[in-house]
């Protein structure tokens, strides 16, 4: 056996798209950030040649050489384990030893199916834990493998989720130039509200494609506004200008509403945030469900989140994560 460890632990953060979702699919920039909610993976080599994955009350146990079990199709109730299972299969297939299996315990703080990158973070943490067992803890390699797996599972993925989850921080993505970390002057506090409506990124992306085909002039106009918002938001992040950053979030949300990717619950959550003192708010990710983000002034974040938590909605206060994938 060429592994040098019997067990390893890794974790990786969730992400939010701050600006530019959907427009990024058509060669416009986007800005995303890692946030301090993590998925943690404990991996252990077993010699019974099975892949055992446990996450809370859910578990699966599949022979390491079997093909994808029907229970693992992306539509099943265990679908959140599917990317993790695929990553384990992939890393095991890279090994030259076919007589081993893996036990994984997955502990996640990231709501699933809400556009917060739980699938990418699971892939990054799983690949990192397995590479810790078998080879090296090289972040670029972890990113490369996690991205390949995400692409297999979610077609047309830009790779932004895996990048942000691996390297952390706030990242500007330009389709022609790749990824760049943006330095920050001030750590903003975000409030995340989840709609509870699971979204299907692929479906929403294809709805936007139809919208674009029918409304090309309008789409080009919205794209150019989204590009300007991304540029201005970089300055607001670099300068730590909360008011400007908040206004830009709300402006970006208006463009997404015009694209038709909002949802009545998203609108309700955004209104609640703005009425209670948020500096700006928008949907994050594909939309039509999923989550919203709101910028909360740092001096009153406790007070505002206490007020909002009196309602029936689910909220989480988060900050940016600058660590990315972590070992141990
Ligand atoms: O909701 P998420 O996290 O899957 O984000 C989708 C972001 C899109 O811009 C709509 C698609 C993409 O691949 O960038």
Is 24 a pocket residue for ligand 1 (Cβ < 6 Å)? Answer: yes
Cα dihedral 318, 226, 180, 325, rounded to 10, equals 30
- The 3-state DSSP class for residue 318 equals strand
pLDDT (tens digit, 9 = 90+) per residue, 234-284? 999 999 999 999 999 999 999 999 999 999 999 999 999 999 999 999 999
Is residue 249 within 8 A of residue 293, CB to CB? The reply is yes
| Ligand 1 close to Cβ of residue 158 (< 6 A) | yes
Whether ligand 1 lies within 6 angstroms of the CB of 165 is answered as no
**What is the per-residue pLDDT for 264?**
97
Whether 65 and 124 have beta carbons less than 8 Å apart is answered as: no
Check if 208 has its Cβ closer than 6 Å to any atom of ligand 1.
Answer: no
pLDDT at 110: 95
pLDDT digits (tens, 9 = 90+) for 144-172: 999 999 888 776 667 899 999 999 999 99
Pocket-testing residue among 285, 288, 289, ligand 1, by greatest number of atoms within 8 A of Cβ: 285
Q: Report which DSSP code applies to 111.
A: P
From 14, 21, 161, the mutation candidate for ligand 1 (largest count of ligand atoms within 8 A of CB) is 21
Backbone angles phi, psi at 19, to 5 degrees: -145, 145
Helix (H, G, I), strand (E, B) or coil at 218: helix
How far is residue 274's CA from residue 269's CA, in Å, rounded to a whole number? Answer: 9
Residue 179's contacts (CB-CB under 8 Å, 6 or more residues apart) are 160, 163, 167, 171, 172, 173
Spatial separation of the C-alpha atoms in residues 62 and 42, rounded to whole Å: 18
> 6 burial class (0-12, 13-18, 19+ CB within 10 angstroms)?
exposed
- C-alpha dist (Å) from residue 199 to 18, 112, 194, 231: 18, 10, 11, 28
* Two tokens, residue 288: 């039509």
Average pLDDT over residues 63-82: 75
pTM: predicted TM-score of the whole model, two decimal places: 0.93
Least confident among 58-72, 124-138, 262-276: 58-72
Query: Does residue 304 register a pLDDT over 70?
Result: yes
**Cα distances (angstroms) measured from residue 202 to each of 24, 28, 289:** 14, 18, 13
Distance (angstroms) between ligand 1 centre and the Cα of 22 equals 7
The whole-chain average pLDDT of the chain stands at 91
């Amino acid at each position: 056996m060429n592994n040098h460890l019997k067990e390893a632990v890794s974790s990786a953060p969730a992400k939010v798209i701050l600006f530019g979702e959907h427009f990024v699919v058509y060669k416009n920039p986007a800005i995303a950030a890692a946030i301090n909610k993590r998925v943690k993976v404990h991996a252990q080599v077993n010699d019974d040649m099975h892949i055992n994955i446990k996450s809370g009350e859910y578990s699966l146990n599949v022979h390491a050489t079997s093909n994808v079990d029907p229970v693992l199709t992306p539509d099943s109730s265990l679908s959140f384990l599917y990317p993790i299972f695929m990553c384990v299969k992939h890393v095991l297939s890279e090994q030259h030893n076919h007589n081993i299996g893996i036990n994984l315990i997955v502990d996640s703080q990231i709501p699933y199916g809400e556009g917060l990158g739980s699938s990418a973070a699971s892939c990054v943490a799983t690949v990192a834990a397995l590479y810790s067992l078998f080879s090296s803890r090289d972040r670029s390699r972890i990113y490369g493998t996690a991205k390949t797996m995400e692409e297999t599972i979610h077609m047309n993925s830009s790779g932004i989720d895996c990048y942000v989850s691996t390297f952390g921080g706030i990242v500007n993505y330009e389709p022609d130039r790749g990824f760049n970390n943006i330095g920050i002057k001030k750590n903003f506090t975000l409030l995340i509200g989840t709609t509870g409506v699971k979204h299907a990124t692929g479906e929403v992306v294809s709805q936007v494609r139809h919208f674009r085909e029918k409304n090309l002039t309008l789409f080009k106009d919205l794209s150019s506004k989204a590009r300007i918002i991304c540029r201005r938001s970089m300055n607001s992040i670099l300068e730590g200008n909360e008011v400007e950053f908040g206004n830009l979030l709300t402006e970006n949300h208006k463009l997404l509403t015009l694209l038709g990717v909002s949802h009545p619950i998203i609108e309700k959550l955004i209104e609640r945030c703005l009425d209670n003192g948020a500096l700006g708010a928008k949907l994050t990710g594909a939309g039509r469900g999923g989550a919203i983000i709101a910028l909360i002034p740092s001096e009153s974040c406790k007070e505002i989140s206490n007020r909002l938590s009196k309602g029936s909605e689910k909220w989480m206060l988060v900050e940016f994560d600058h660590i990315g994938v972590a070992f141990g």
